[in-house]
Amino acid sequence: MKNQFIAIGSICGFLAVALGAFGAHALKGMLAPDMLEVYQTGVHYHMIHALALVAIGLASSVLPRSSGHLRRAGWSMLIGILLFSGSLYVLSVTGIKVLGAITPLGGLAFLFGWLSLALAARK
């Protein structure tokens, strides 16, 4: 599990940097300022949770008896990135407002991930 979440987190971090650069350079003149801000919010949360995935992988070495909570935390963080950040990326580029309904589901996944990480530390 350790290497799995470190690898997933690293790939997510790479993608967050790449998407952030794409937004800052390629999308800057194409998107309205409010949509660029929405896009950057997606990048921000994407990177924070990419780092959290790496931390979860590292925590599995320190908290081996909490592997169930850590596994739930990791998958929840990844689902959160896909739903929260992914919906903000698509919303900002396409303007399809109905995607805004998906964003809170990603936020709930993030919350569940952080709660699961706290429970892992408590064991």
**pLDDT tens digits in sequence order for the chain, 123 residues long:** 679 999 999 999 999 999 999 999 999 889 999 999 999 999 999 999 999 999 999 999 899 888 999 999 999 999 999 999 999 999 999 999 998 899 999 999 999 999 999 999 986
**DSSP 3-state of 96:** coil
**Boundaries of every domain in the chain:** 2-122
The pLDDT value given to residue 35: 95
Separation of alpha carbons 85 and 50, rounded Å = 11
Which DSSP letter does residue 100 get? G
In whole numbers, what is the pLDDT of the chain averaged over residues?
Answer: 95
The pLDDT value given to residue 110: 98
| Tokens matching residue 22 | 């794409």
Cα angle value 118/79/52 (rounded, 5°): 45
Element (H, E) at 54: helix 33-62
pTM above 0.75, yes or no: yes
Contacts (Cβ under 8 Å, ≥6 apart) of 90: 96, 99
Computed on alpha carbons and rounded to an integer, the radius of gyration of the chain in Å comes to 15
Separation of alpha carbons 70 and 56, rounded Å = 6
The pLDDT value given to residue 1: 64
The pLDDT value given to residue 88: 97
